[in-house]
Chain A
Amino acid sequence: MDGFVSRGFRRRRPAGTEQAAKLPPGQYAETGFPVLTAGPTPRVDLAEWRLKVEGLVRNPMQWTWEETMALPRSSFEGDIHCVTKWSKLDTGFAGVSVDTLLEAVDPLPEASHVVAFCYGGYTTNLPLDDLRGGKAWVVWEHEGAPLPAEHGGPARLLVPHLYLWKSAKWLNGLRLLDHDAPGFWESLGYHNRGDPWREERYWGD
């Protein structure tokens, strides 16, 4: 509504310009790390745990936990944004770059989209291009400590340039497809791509 003002409402959080510049529209800075999950937190035995990359690839792979730990380490320092309005600024994760995984499986030319699938049954979809070029990780450390189960441990996807529901918790694998296939929240009213800087929260945004 152009011109609408909420009678009596004033900014209560400091207008720190540096912080404000890092917040996408409609977001606020949260110092904690809220937990949001649609169901019970799956408990995954590391001996059984696998990381799979499959579908339209020349060389489908699955890594055990030990094999995954031996992959070249890559870390992310920066900001994450949840569709429920909070952002966590300047936070660090470590794991492996999705580029490393894709290099190992050698995607077929027709691969254009990815479904991330998870222990517990969660799925989310992404264009393949959102997962390559140094933009996405599979992470198992947060701030130097093992990623807690409620935040997606043993390992989760991290795609910090999209809303956090794309950074699937309890990741089991990535399936490369030649078409888009909406995942869990994408089928329940949330935006198909989820770019926080375009405020792509819901269908039609």
Chain B
Amino acid sequence: MGRLSWRLAKVAEVRPETARVVTLALDVPGWDGHLPGQHLDVRLTAEDGYQAERSYSIASAPDGARVELAVERLDDGEVSPYLAGELRQGDQLELRGPVGGYFVWEPSRGGPLLLVAGGSGVVPLMAMLRHRAASGSQVPARLLFSSRSLDEVIFRAELERLEAADDGLTVTHTLTRSQPPGWVGYARRVDVVMLEEVGWRPGERPLAFVCGPTRLVEAVAGHLVALGHDPDRVRTERFGPTGVP
């Protein structure tokens, strides 16, 4: 297999998702496609030659040479403030990928799907849901999505649209820090009771993908195993302030 070579992508669109998260739509000449859940590497080069590399999950379903990232701006970061603050339509960006062959899903891998996200950990799961919708898959899917507040729910409107398509997807939010007046949904961190209420029974043998900060991922994966789910069907990925600034 050949080397994953660096490519020069062009920013086609910058789309705000929340106050701190933007979607970057990139046109990548020669992009060979990707699987939902994979990530890519971004490399920035300063005028003095200094370079910084980071990995970002791909948010979009496979779609020709178009690739979308959703990047959360972390104020003490070096790369994310540039991607989610400085970069404009028409700018160029060096990247290579796709990378990763385990935290991936496509309809042929079946289900039912249990997706559990914390904050920007929803990004690779969104690629799976977008691909599921675009390919007309009927694989039953449940997304349990933990955000700090309603304003910080990434892809909120799009998730509503996807759920409204009534094709076997349900979306459940929990808001851990603040809730709007009249909120009747969950208002705490994901716990074992929530996973029992929202998730599938172990006998239904769901395929689980868990992505978010380490604390959430460790807790959720541990709860799922304790509930009797097969550890081999629980796949995890970390995303957020630690590890991907």
Task: Report A's interface with B, CB cutoff 8 A.
Answer: 1, 4-13, 15, 26-28, 30, 32, 34-42, 82, 84-86, 120-121, 150, 184-185, 187-189, 201-205
A12-B78, A26-B53 as given contacts; A121 in contact with B232, CB under 8 Å: yes
Chain A residues, Cβ within 8 Å of B185:
none
Task: Report B's interface with A, CB cutoff 8 A.
Answer: 1-4, 6, 8, 41, 43-48, 50-55, 77-78, 81-82, 86-87, 91-94, 99-103, 214, 217-218, 221-222, 224-225, 231-232, 234-238, 242-245
Most chain A Cβ neighbours within 10 Å, of B93, B102, B244: B102
Chain A residues, Cβ within 8 Å of B99:
189, 202
A36-B243, A203-B1 as given contacts; A8 in contact with B51, CB under 8 Å: no
Q: Which 8 A-B pairs have the closest CB atoms?
A: A34-B243, A204-B3, A188-B101, A40-B221, A26-B53, A6-B44, A12-B78, A35-B214
**What DSSP secondary structure best describes chain A's contact surface?**
loop
Chain B residues, Cβ within 8 Å of A150:
214, 218
B94's contact among A4, A30, A86, A203, by CB below 8 Å, is which? A4
A205's contact among B3, B47, B234, by CB below 8 Å, is which? B3
Asked whether A35 lies within 8 Å of B238 as measured between CB atoms, the reply is yes
**In the complex, A154 Cα to B243 Cα: how many Å?**
23
**In the complex, A11 Cα to B44 Cα: how many Å?**
10
Chain B residues, Cβ within 8 Å of A84:
55, 243-244
Q: How far is the CB of B119 from chain A (nearest CB, A)?
A: 15
B82's contact among A8, A34, A41, A120, by CB below 8 Å, is which? A8
A84-B244, A121-B232, A189-B99 as given contacts; A4 in contact with B78, CB under 8 Å: no
Q: How far is the CB of B173 from chain A (nearest CB, A)?
A: 24
A4-B8, A9-B82 as given contacts; A37 in contact with B236, CB under 8 Å: yes
**In the complex, A27 Cα to B52 Cα: how many Å?**
8
**In the complex, A4 Cα to B49 Cα: how many Å?**
9
A15-B50, A39-B221, A189-B101 as given contacts; A4 in contact with B243, CB under 8 Å: no
Chain A residues, Cβ within 8 Å of B217:
35, 37
Chain B residues, Cβ within 8 Å of A184:
102
B46's contact among A6, A189, A204, by CB below 8 Å, is which? A6
B236's contact among A1, A6, A10, A39, by CB below 8 Å, is which? A39
Asked whether A34 lies within 8 Å of B238 as measured between CB atoms, the reply is yes
**In the complex, A6 Cα to B152 Cα: how many Å?**
29
**In the complex, A58 Cα to B117 Cα: how many Å?**
49
Chain B residues, Cβ within 8 Å of A6:
44-46, 82, 91-94
**In the complex, A85 Cα to B39 Cα: how many Å?**
13
Q: How far is the CB of A82 from chain B (nearest CB, A)?
A: 8
Most chain A Cβ neighbours within 10 Å, of B77, B93, B218, B237: B218
Chain B residues, Cβ within 8 Å of A7:
91-92
